[in-house]
């Protein structure tokens, strides 16, 4: 008997609370908050891998890759004697993550340039003017999320065109002032070795 009275009281209370304008407003504002909170799908950091850079002085071409096999193939190729291993440019995802785009690299045999981008329009334009597919150099964020840093894109605009990708503002500025490169914008957002040190 007592139990059913308490049950009835609780039911009545629940109806009153649900009907109260105060309660309804709170519900609505929570829903709005949930909607405006941008989802940040950072991806699996254990899928991060180094993006390496090699410079072929003979053809003035910077090449970026996540594959050791590409590096050894370039360095062991007797036809390309003047190669310089430049080390790790950034950390990128080796496999696709929910918030990433493929960082597609093309090569142009006429200019020897290696152009990498997440921008399909720019890639299609390069493919239409004689570039061919080289590889997908990992996956990067198109927006600055999860503590990532900008990957700057620079182009040496000439017959033997060349592209540089770097997370270093110093290297970017040096390429502009001393090497004649033109700054073209941010190619994507990646992790650098420093941002990883800071986050651990
Ligand atoms: C680079 O390495 C990948 C993985 O081994 C391979 O599939 C690709 O053909 C290589 N690209 C070139 C141009 O050597
Ligand atoms: C993609 O590339 C095209 C052609 O270069 C350019 O017009 C456009 O602004 C680029 N889009 C983004 C999002 O950067």
For 87-129, how does the pLDDT look when each residue is reduced to its tens digit (9 = 90+)? Answer: 999 999 999 999 999 999 999 989 889 999 999 999 999 999 9
Is the shortest distance between the CB of 135 and ligand 1 below 6 Å? yes
- Helix, strand, or coil (residue 195): helix
Query: Which ligand 2 atom minimizes the distance to the CA of 119?
Result: 1
CA of 131 to the centre of ligand 2 (A): 17
- Six token digits for residue 4: 């059913």
- Helix, strand, or coil (residue 37): coil
Spatial contact of 70 and 63, defined as CB atoms under 8 Å apart: yes
Closest protein CA for atom 2 of ligand 2 = 122
Closest protein CA for atom 12 of ligand 2 = 119
CA of 158 to the centre of ligand 1 (A): 27
Q: Give the pocket of ligand 2 (CB within 6 Å).
A: 119, 121-122, 125
Give the per-residue pLDDT at 77: 77
Spatial contact of 151 and 51, defined as CB atoms under 8 Å apart: no
Spatial contact of 116 and 62, defined as CB atoms under 8 Å apart: no
When pLDDT is cut at 50, 70 and 90, the band that residue 130 belongs to is: very high
Give the per-residue pLDDT at 24: 37
Q: Is the pLDDT of residue 55 over 80?
A: yes
Q: Which ligand is nearest to the CA of 122?
A: 2
CA of 70 to the centre of ligand 1 (A): 6
Candidates 69, 58, 41, 61; CA nearest to 146 is: 41
Spatial contact of 66 and 137, defined as CB atoms under 8 Å apart: yes
Q: Is the pLDDT of residue 11 over 90?
A: no
Contacts of 171 (CB under 8 A, 6+ apart): 164
pTM: 0.79
The pLDDT > 90 percentage for the chain reads: 64
């Amino acid at each position: 008997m007592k139990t059913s009275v308490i049950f009835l009281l609780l039911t009545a209370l629940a109806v009153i609370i649900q009907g109260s304008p105060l309660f309804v407003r709170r519900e609505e504002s929570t829903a709005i908050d949930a909607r405006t909170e941008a989802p940040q799908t950072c991806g699996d950091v254990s899928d991060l891998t180094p993006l390496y850079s090699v410079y072929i002085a003979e053809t003035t071409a910077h090449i970026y890759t996540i594959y050791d096999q590409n590096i050894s193939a370039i360095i062991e190729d007797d036809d390309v004697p003047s190669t310089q291993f430049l080390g790790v440019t950034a950390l990128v995802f080796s496999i696709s993550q929910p918030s990433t785009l493929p960082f597609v690299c093309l090569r142009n045999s006429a200019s020897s340039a290696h152009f990498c981008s997440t921008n399909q329009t720019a890639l299609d334009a390069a493919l239409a003017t004689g570039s061919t597919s080289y590889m997908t150099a990992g996956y990067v964020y198109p927006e600055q999320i999860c503590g990532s840093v900008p990957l700057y894109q620079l182009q040496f605009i000439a017959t033997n065109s060349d592209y540089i990708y770097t997370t270093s503002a110093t290297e970017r500025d040096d390429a502009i002032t001393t090497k004649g490169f033109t700054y073209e914008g941010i190619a994507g957002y990646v992790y650098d070795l420093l941002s990883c040190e800071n986050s651990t």
